[in-house]
Structure 1
């Protein structure tokens, strides 16, 4: 599970079928490729001819164009202003990112998502009209830090900065006990959404089901409460 991608893509409009991605660096290519593989029509643009050629060759977008996104005329002629959602993935070039976002919003695009490289950058993007600002490097850094310090967590999906859904191995302390006996909600403030059985997950498990060592459980709760689970904060030796 690519958690950063999940956190990002769940914020995009579900009824939209067409996306434009401005900036085809590593982040922009990942966005374009994922949307394209999901069956959406994607226009990818970049000022760098090599990047445009790479995306076209690897079929990571339905259409690719080379253009200077700080030029409003070039943006208009490309048809980007007709897209319902545009992702400005320039990120590392603050001036180009802000100017591009400004032009796209002033042209009336409904939904603009912009990548920011810092808090100041993000604030400026919001000032010029970005509807959603994402911080992929920061989010990945947080995910890495948690994975290094919470080694019992197999996978994590962050609902927001404070709450998550995580997959963990059944702790030794839970082995042989029923979900009802554990009283997870009152003891830890979390709830079990699913329990693994024969490599498949049982959703909304019976509260009288006994947990077994070696199985996995999917838990939802605040990050603070999840960290209290007996397996969540064991450091790797």
Structure 2
């Protein structure tokens, strides 16, 4: 998640309790299941009657409709424009995904989140007005590559293409040294935000805090510095 993503999510109203999910493949079903499990009212939509029936049978949504969302009149009649946030989970049918996203925005849906299956698909979704585009396959690929090559990084939060916040294991060569001694800001361009201590995190630790290998620290800074820091 980057700063543009944060801007989108900040604009969502916390009191919003209703979501519509269009496309009931694996992605759409997962979104429905999670939202419904969290207590939100979810309308599940697909052109495939079997997928709609299965959604109701599996109770992953409060309501489900068989609908062709490439038709603007169908969107109006189904009341989808009453939903503050609509998730377009159609990934493999580019024309259907793009037309649906365009129709939703033209009909006045405030927040449209759309799933992309390729770089071109992502660019087209943004062109037709998608407020936020997710690319699950690419994001999973990045995460897998980082986990394989940087196993010491436990979690990461991308601020922009060049900077991140990461949760990482303290390197062996940092063991027994203080934050001040390591000169992380001068040598790596990194700032320590927190370190684990007695099964808890100590936020904004003092410069004389000793680091121990195998414990966790959270740092913010350039991706180049993070790559140098982690073996």
TM-score with structure 1 length normalisation? 0.86
1:110-132 residue CA offsets vs partner (Å, 9 max, x unmatched): 12111111222122222222122
Contact kept, 8 Å, 2:8 with 2:131, in 1: the verdict is no
- Give the distance between the partners of 1:223 and 1:152, measured in 2 at CA: 15
- Give the distance between the partners of 2:39 and 2:160, measured in 1 at CA: 27
Q: Say if 1:134 and 1:59 are closer, same or farther in 2 by CA, change over 3 A.
A: same
- Give the distance between the partners of 2:7 and 2:198, measured in 1 at CA: 30
What pairs up with 1:1-237 in 2 under 5 angstroms? 11-12=8-9, 13-15=11-13, 16-229=16-229, 232=230, 234=231
Contact kept, 8 Å, 1:169 with 1:215, in 2: the verdict is yes
Contact kept, 8 Å, 1:8 with 1:134, in 2: the verdict is no
- Give the distance between the partners of 1:42 and 1:186, measured in 2 at CA: 50
1:178-230 residue CA offsets vs partner (Å, 9 max, x unmatched): 1122121111111111111232212222221111122111112222221010x
Give the C-alpha shift of residue 142 in structure 1: 1.2
**Larger deviation, residues 214-223 vs 26-35:** 26-35
Contact kept, 8 Å, 1:111 with 1:131, in 2: the verdict is yes
1:108-166 residue CA offsets vs partner (Å, 9 max, x unmatched): 11121111112221222222221222211111111111111112112222233332221
The CA RMSD over aligned residues, in Å, is 2.3
- Equivalenced residues, count: 227
**Larger deviation, residues 152-161 vs 136-145:** 152-161
Give the C-alpha shift of residue 20 in structure 1: 1.3
- Give the distance between the partners of 1:64 and 1:127, measured in 2 at CA: 29
Give the C-alpha shift of residue 68 in structure 1: 1.7
- Give the distance between the partners of 2:174 and 2:48, measured in 1 at CA: 55
Q: Which secondary structure does the structure 2 equivalent of 1:217 belong to?
A: strand
TM-score with structure 2 length normalisation? 0.88
- Give the distance between the partners of 1:201 and 1:51, measured in 2 at CA: 45
Q: Say if 1:209 and 1:161 are closer, same or farther in 2 by CA, change over 3 A.
A: same
- Give the distance between the partners of 1:9 and 1:21, measured in 2 at CA: 21
In structure 1, list runs of 5 or more residues that go unmatched.
none
Q: Say if 1:51 and 1:8 are closer, same or farther in 2 by CA, change over 3 A.
A: farther
Q: Say if 1:222 and 1:26 are closer, same or farther in 2 by CA, change over 3 A.
A: farther
- Give the distance between the partners of 2:203 and 2:53, measured in 1 at CA: 45
- Give the distance between the partners of 1:165 and 1:187, measured in 2 at CA: 17
- Give the distance between the partners of 2:6 and 2:43, measured in 1 at CA: 17
Q: Which secondary structure does the structure 2 equivalent of 1:151 belong to?
A: coil
- Give the distance between the partners of 1:66 and 1:9, measured in 2 at CA: 33
In structure 2, list runs of 5 or more residues that go unmatched.
none
Give the C-alpha shift of residue 8 in structure 1: 6.9
Q: Which secondary structure does the structure 2 equivalent of 1:206 belong to?
A: coil
Q: Which secondary structure does the structure 2 equivalent of 1:20 belong to?
A: strand
